[in-house]
Structure 1
Amino acid sequence: MRAVVMEARGGPEVLKLKEVETPTPGPKEVLLRVKAAGLNHLDIWVRKGVASPKLPLPHVLGADAAGVVEAVGPGVTAFKPGDEVVVNPGISCGLCERCLKGEDNLCPRYEILGEHRWGSYAEGLVVPEANLLPKPQGLSFVEAAAIPLTFLTAWQMVVDKLQVSPGEDVLVMAAGSGVSVAAIQIAKLFGARVIATVGSEEKLRKALELGADEGVNYTHPDWFKEVRRLTGGKGADKVVDHTGALYFEGVIKATANGGRIAIAGASSGYEGTLPFAHVFFRQLSILGSTMASKSRLFPILRHVEAGRLRPVVGQVLPLEAAAEGHRLLEERRVFGKVVLEVA
């Protein structure tokens, strides 16, 4: 089969289209004929060696996939060849206390597809049966592949960690990213007023079309003051953030007394300044977040099928253009997801 293989750490040029052996499904596993693969900033961090630096090479990136079941291994009962499916990218043991409590993304053996094992930048992909869901009707493979990782991440941040409720002011940082386009929609679904930060007028327009109520340009030095102005001086009750060190002090200052901040990444750097007085005196809560329980993809897909949530695809490229997709993400030239059409 064809696959985009990462043979070294470095820039996008390390991604090469190669012929590799098609994997064989084992017990309780399914071989998927990948039709579309979504790109994520996680792929960039793995490529650069920031995430999983000891990962053995060569490696195939890609957490998100949608496609058709090609073959099933022994013991598979829920799917058969020909079924159209979406891949849930979080893989866990399914047996430990965390998994059995529905906290599988805290499993000691937790893995993310494309980071810890070969991923979806390929014509074939083997995953556990437990990591497949039927593709929503009326959704293309490209649209389906734009959902899993970012919507799972946003769902845990907005619903599980921040516990957003009607009438709250929710600040969503970097509104054009895959996580943020999902977070805007989920926060609105739960009745919040959304303030989105953007880096351009074009992205502001798209964020407002997606449902954001207000927009702030975070390239301005005092952008957090505008957030406070829009909230009557109070600040945002809840914050969805993955922007990292460059903006973190502003995020703290933009948050209301007693507010909550959920962090799921650090795209501008991992070591920032934390003004402790703001945290303890104003009683802020800073919550780390990675992915979500596999169970959360079920309600997400129901909302998608009902039209209450929708994937946002900013660019579609062929499999062999994966390196260009990485450049688009790194240069922030896309609003929403970059998706590879595979077969």
Structure 2
Amino acid sequence: MKAVYLTGHGGNEVVAVGERPLPERRAGEVLVRMHAATLNRVDLYMRDSGAGITHTLPQTMGLDGAGVIEAMDAEEPGLHIGQKVLVYPAVTCGACEFCQRGQEVLCTRMSLLGEHRDGTLSEYLCVPARNLVPMPEGWTFEEAAALGVNHLTAWRMLVTQARLQAGETVLIFGIGGGVSLAGLQLAKAMGARVFVTSTQQDKLDRALALGADGVIHSREQDVVQQVMRLTGKRGVDVVFENVGQAVWDSALRSAVRGGRIVTCGATTGDQPGADLRRVFIRQLQILGSTLGNLDELQALTRFCAQQGVRPLIEQTYALDDIHAALDRLASGQQFGKLAVRIRG
């Protein structure tokens, strides 16, 4: 089968497109003919170094994806051959204390597609039956693929960790990236007021068109001052943060007393100043988050179908054009998901 795979670590020279062995389906697994996947920041990390992530080269890239069931055991509840499905990217043990209480995102033996094991940028994929979720009716494979990482991450941040309520205010840093855009879409659909930041005016303009209630040009404006202007000097209920060190001080100072700061990333550094006095005097809650549980992906899929929320796809690339897609992701200029069409 044709796949995108890593032969080493470095730049695009280690990303190959070519033949890889067809995966062998075992009992309890489903063989999926993949139609689309989308790119995530971790794809760049795995290409560049993959440091700290146990993996074996060559390895097929890609965390999320969608396709059609090709082969499966005779009876798998809710699934059938020919069904369109999206992929939950975490393969978990099912036996540890966290899996037993439905928190498989904390599984002690989790292996992630495209990180610890072969991923979704291939013509075929084998995963346990529980890792597949039926696609929403009428969606493209590219849209469905995008739910599995960015939108799932944003859903857990807002719903599970921050417990966002209708009428509350949210500050989202770095609009344009996949997780931040998903956060804007979901928070608005939940009835929140949403303010976003970016260093690029065109991204702010596009965010306004998507429903943002206020925008802050973080290169030309003081984020905290603008948040206080937009909230009548109150601050926001929830800070949605995946940038890290460069914005951490602004994140802390933008939250209302008792506010929640939820973080899932540290692209600009992971060692910010703590400012502990602000944390305990203002009784701020700092919440870590990453990916989500399978039942959260199922709830997210239902919510998006009911509310008409669809991931924004900026551009779709052919499998052979993976280098151009990775370059676009690395540039940080994208507004929406970069999809890869594997078939069709």
TM-score (norm 2): 0.94
Give the drift of 1:75: 6.1
Give the aligned partner of residue 98 of structure 1: 98
Residue 271 of structure 1 pairs with residue 306 of structure 2:
no
Instruction: Output one character per residue of 1:137-170: Cα deviation in whole Å (capped at 9) or x when no partner.
Output: 1101111112211111011100111111122110
Give the drift of 1:301: 1.4
Cα distance change, pair 192–51 in 1 and its aligned pair in 2 (3 A):
farther
Paired with 1:275 and 1:250, the residues of 2 have a C-alpha distance of 11
Instruction: Output one character per residue of 1:296-328: Cα deviation in whole Å (capped at 9) or x when no partner.
Output: 112211222224321110111011222222221
Give the aligned partner of residue 236 of structure 2: 236
Give the aligned partner of residue 56 of structure 1: 56
Please tell me whether the aligned partners of residues 36 and 66 of structure 1 are also in contact (alpha carbons under 8 angstroms). yes
The one-letter amino acid paired with 2:202 is E
Query: Which structure 2 residues correspond to residues 173-322 of structure 1 after superposition, within 5 A?
Result: 173-220=173-220, 222-322=222-322
Paired with 1:50 and 1:233, the residues of 2 have a C-alpha distance of 43
Give the aligned partner of residue 28 of structure 1: 28
SS in structure 2 at match of 1:240: strand
Please tell me whether the aligned partners of residues 181 and 210 of structure 1 are also in contact (alpha carbons under 8 angstroms). no
Structure 2 residue runs of 5 or longer lacking an equivalent are none
Please tell me whether the aligned partners of residues 46 and 52 of structure 1 are also in contact (alpha carbons under 8 angstroms). no
Instruction: Output one character per residue of 1:71-121: Cα deviation in whole Å (capped at 9) or x when no partner.
Output: 225764543331111111122122333223221101111222111111011
Instruction: Output one character per residue of 1:198-230: Cα deviation in whole Å (capped at 9) or x when no partner.
Output: 222221122122221111112236222211221
Give the aligned partner of residue 160 of structure 1: 160
The one-letter amino acid paired with 1:184 is L
Give the drift of 1:50: 5.2
Please tell me whether the aligned partners of residues 195 and 214 of structure 2 are also in contact (alpha carbons under 8 angstroms). yes
Instruction: Output one character per residue of 1:234-268: Cα deviation in whole Å (capped at 9) or x when no partner.
Output: 22211111112122122112222221111111122
Cα RMSD of the aligned pairs, angstroms, is 1.7
Please tell me whether the aligned partners of residues 317 and 341 of structure 2 are also in contact (alpha carbons under 8 angstroms). yes
SS in structure 1 at match of 2:257: strand
Paired with 1:74 and 1:308, the residues of 2 have a C-alpha distance of 34
The one-letter amino acid paired with 2:120 is S
Cα distance change, pair 74–114 in 1 and its aligned pair in 2 (3 A):
farther
Structure 1 residue runs of 5 or longer lacking an equivalent are none
Give the aligned partner of residue 16 of structure 1: 16
The one-letter amino acid paired with 2:81 is P
SS in structure 1 at match of 2:324: helix
Give the aligned partner of residue 117 of structure 2: 117
TM-score (norm 1): 0.95
Paired with 2:68 and 2:250, the residues of 1 have a C-alpha distance of 45
Paired with 2:258 and 2:321, the residues of 1 have a C-alpha distance of 46
Runs of 4+ in 1 over 3 A off after TM superposition: 50-54, 73-78
- Aligned residue pairs total 343
SS in structure 2 at match of 1:79: coil
Give the drift of 1:136: 1.2
Identical-residue share of aligned pairs (%)? 38
Please tell me whether the aligned partners of residues 3 and 19 of structure 2 are also in contact (alpha carbons under 8 angstroms). yes
Instruction: Output one character per residue of 1:5-63: Cα deviation in whole Å (capped at 9) or x when no partner.
Output: 11111223321112111101111101111100111112122222255444221111211
Name which of structure 1's ranges 161-170 and 216-225 shifts more when overlaid on structure 2. 216-225
Paired with 1:26 and 1:50, the residues of 2 have a C-alpha distance of 28
